[in-house]
Amino acid sequence: MFDLPQLDLKNKVSAQEWQLRVDLAACYRLVDHFRWGDLIYTHLSARIPGSDHYLVNAFGLTFDEISASNLVKVDLSGNIIDDTPFNINPAGFTIHSAIHEVRDDAHCVIHLHTKETIAVATQKNGLLPLSQYSMFSLPSLSYHGYEGLAVNDDERKRLQDDLGNTNHMLLVNHGGLTVGPTVGDAFMRFYDLQRACEIQLAIQASSQQAISVPQPIIDNIYNQANVVHSGSTGGQLAWPAMLRKAYRLDPSFAK
C-alpha cells in the first residue's frame, strides 16, 4: 500500500482557482465512474481564470485518486508553476496546450480514449445522424487524422486547424475530445458525444437498417443544442447535479 502525498491548497490559492480545482477534480472522478478512463492516461485540463496557467492531472495517478489539491498547475509549455511533488505527462499535455493556445473560449479541454469514440472515429463515415445525441455533436464536430503519438510540435498547427471553432472532435484511430467555456459544458459535450457513439455502434451491431435524421433537421439543430446543453440548462444546471453525484460517490476529490 502506497500513500499519496497529502496536499492542502485550499487556503493557498484564490477562491476562483480553488473552485476550478474542485470542478476539474470532480470531472476526473466522474470520468472514472462512467468507465471512460484509460488507467493513468488521457487528460482533462482547465485554464485558471485571469491567467495563462492551466490545471492538469498528476502523471501516475488514477482518475479516482485525483483531488483538487494534487492537480498540477502548468504553463502552455508544460512547465510546472507551483511547488508540488507530482509531475505531468508532457506528451499528454501536447494536445491540450495546442488547443488552449488558440481557443480563448476553450477554458476546459477533455480528451479521452473510450472504446466507443475510437471505434466511431475509425469508421470511414465517422459519426452518423442516427440519434438525438448525435444531433448535439454533428453541427459542431471536426476530425483529426492519426499521425502517431501526439508528441511532434508540427502536428499542433494541423490539430488547431482541424478543430477550428468546433466544440467536438473525433481523433481518427485515437479517441474523442470536447471543449467548453466551463468544466461542466465540456463534460456535457463529451457525454453527448460518447452516448452518440455508443448508440451508433449498438445500431450497427443489430444488423437492422437504420433511419437517419434528415439533413434539414440537422441544419437546424445547432441553435437548439446550444439551448439544451449550455448556459442555463447545460453547464449551469446539469453540472451542479453531476457535482452533487461526485460528492456522493467520494467527497475526497474536494480536498
CATH topology of domain 15-254: L-fuculose-1-phosphate Aldolase (3.40.225)
Domain residue spans of the chain: 15-254
Q: Give burial (CB, 10 Å; 0-12/13-18/19+) of 90.
A: middle
The answer to whether 91 touches 56, Cβ cutoff 8 Å, is no
**Rounded distance between C-alpha atoms, residue 71 and residue 53, angstroms:** 12
Give tens-digit pLDDT for 127-167.
999 998 998 889 889 999 887 676 667 788 889 999 999 99
pLDDT(113) > 50: yes
The answer to whether 37 touches 63, Cβ cutoff 8 Å, is yes
Q: What strand order describes the sheet that includes 141-144?
A: 72-74, 54-56, 43-47, 108-112, 175-180, 168-171, 141-144
Per-residue pLDDT, averaged over 118-131, amounts to: 95
Name the DSSP class of 74: E
Q: What is the model's pLDDT at position 1?
A: 46
pTM: 0.89
